Structure 1
Amino acid sequence: MNIVGIDVGYSNLKVAYGRNETPSPKTILRPAGAAPEDRFGSRLDGKDSEEFLRVVVNGKKFIAGVSPDRAQMWSRSLHAEYSSSESYQALFKAGLLLAGMEQIDMLVTGLPVLQYLDEQRKKSLINYMTGIHEILPGKIVDIKKVKVVSQPIGGFLDFISRSNEDIEDASILVIDPGFFSVDWVVISNDEIHKHSSGTSLTASSVLLEEASALISKDHGTGISAEMLENAIRQNKTTIMVLGQRIEIAPYLRIARKSIGPVITEEIQKSLRNENKMVDIVVMVGGGATFFMEAVKEAFPRLKILLTQDAVFSNCRGFWMLGAASE
Structure 2
Amino acid sequence: MFILGIDIGYSNLKLAHGQATAPEPYIWTCPSGAAPVEDSVLSSGRSQRGHHVLVNGRIWVVGHSQHGLVTTSQRSLNNDYTETDAYRALFHLALLRTGADHVDRVVTGLPVSECLEHGRIQNLEEMLAGTHEVAEGMRISVGEVKVVPQPGGSLILASRRRELSQFIETGFVSVIDPGFFSTDWLTLDGGRIVESLSGTNMRAVSVVLQRAAELIRQSEGSRPPLEMLEDAVRNEKPTILVAGHHFDYRPLLATAAQEVGVASMSEITQNLRVETRRLDMVIVTGGGAAIYRQILETVLPKTRIEVLDNPVMANATGFWLAGH
- Normalising by structure 2, report the TM-score: 0.95
The structural deviation recorded for 1:220 is 1.0
Counterpart residue number, 1:64: 62
**Structure 1 residues 159 and 44 mapped into 2: Cα distance closer, same or farther (>3 Å)?**
farther
Amino acid at match of 1:311: V
Aligned equivalents of 1:133, 1:47: Cα separation in 2? 24
Name the counterpart of 1:179. Answer: 180
Per the alignment, residue 159 of structure 2 pairs with 160
Q: CA deviation at 1:39?
A: 2.0
Moved more, 70-79 or 144-153: 70-79
CA distance in 1, matches of 2:39, 2:232: 22
Number of the residue aligned with 1:126: 125
Q: Which runs of 4+ in 1 moved over 6 A?
A: none
Give the Å deviation of 1:160. Answer: 2.2
Distance, in Å, in 1 between the alignment partners of 2:125 and 2:276 is 34
Counterpart AA for 2:249: I
DSSP 3-state at the match of 1:54: strand
Match of 1:293 in 2: 294
Cα distance in 1, alignment partners of residues 303 and 84 from structure 2? 39
Once residues 141 and 159 of structure 1 are traced to their aligned partners in structure 2, the CA distance between those partners, rounded to angstroms, is: 31
Q: List per-residue Cα deviations over 1:49-104 (Å, max 9, x = no partner).
A: 2xx11111111111111112313221111000001011111111111111221101
C-alpha deviation, 1:42, in angstroms: 4.0
Q: Deviation per CA, 1:207-227, whole angstroms, max 9, x where unpaired?
A: 000001111111111201110
Aligned 8 A contact 2:41 2:47 in 1: no
Unaligned runs of 5+ in 1: none
- CA 1:131 to 1:237, structure 2 compared with 1: closer, same or farther past 3 Å? same
Residue in 2 aligned with 1:319? 320
- Contact residue 170 and residue 191 of structure 2 kept, 8 A: no
Q: Secondary structure at the match of 1:250?
A: helix
2:242 aligned partner: 241
Distance 2:145 2:264 in 1: 31
- Check 1:61–1:303 CA distance in 2 against 1; reply closer, same or farther (3 A cut): same
SS of aligned partner of 2:224: coil
Change (3 A) 1:213 1:47: closer
CA–CA distance in 2 between the matches of 1:92 and 1:276? 42
Contact 2:40 2:72 in 1 (8 A): no
Q: State the Cα deviation string for residues 87-128 of structure 1 (Å, max 9, x = none).
A: 111111111111221101110000000011113111110000
SS at match of 1:105: strand
1:138 and 2:126 aligned: no
Equivalent residues in 2 for 1:188-199, closer than 5 Å: 188-199=189-200
Q: CA deviation at 1:29?
A: 0.6
Residue aligned with 2:3, SS: strand
Partner of 2:88: 89
Question: Structure 1 residues 105 and 81, CA, compared in 2 at 3 Å: closer, same or farther?
Answer: same
Give the conservation status (yes or no) of the 8 Å contact 2:174–2:185.
yes
Are positions 1:4 and 2:4 aligned together? yes
Alignment of 1:135-284 (within 5 A): 135-162=134-161, 164-165=163-164, 166-167=166-167, 168-273=169-274, 276-284=277-285
For residue 163 of structure 2, give the secondary structure of its aligned residue in structure 1.
coil
Which range is displaced more, 312-321 or 273-282?
273-282
CA contact (8 A) 1:207 1:259 kept: yes
Other-structure match for 2:51: 53
* Alignment partners' CA distance in 1, 2:35 and 2:244: 29
> Does 2:20 align with 1:20?
yes
Taking structure 1 as reference, are residues 48 and 34 closer, same or farther at Cα in structure 2, changes over 3 Å only? closer
Q: Normalized against structure 1, the TM-score is what?
A: 0.94
* Cα distance in 2, alignment partners of residues 320 and 111 from structure 1: 17
**Letter paired with 2:261:** G
Equivalent-residue separation in structure 2 for 1:136 and 1:43 (angstroms): 26
**What displacement does 1:234 show?**
1.3
Whole-Å Cα distance in 1 between the matches of residues 161 and 2 of structure 2? 22
Residue in structure 2 matched with residue 78 of structure 1 by the alignment: 77
Q: Is the Cα contact below 8 Å between 1:212 and 1:223 reproduced in 2? A: yes
Residues 275 and 300 of structure 1: is their aligned pair in 2 closer, same or farther, counting only changes over 3 Å?
A: closer
Say if 1:16 and 1:274 are closer, same or farther in 2 by CA, change over 3 A.
farther
Q: CA deviation at 1:133?
A: 0.4
Give 1:205's aligned amino acid: S
- Counterpart residue number, 1:305: 306
1:125 counterpart SS class: helix
Query: Matched residues in 2 for 1:82 and 1:315: separation?
Result: 18
User: Which whole-Å CA distance do the structure 2 matches of 1:318 and 1:295 have between them?
Assistant: 25
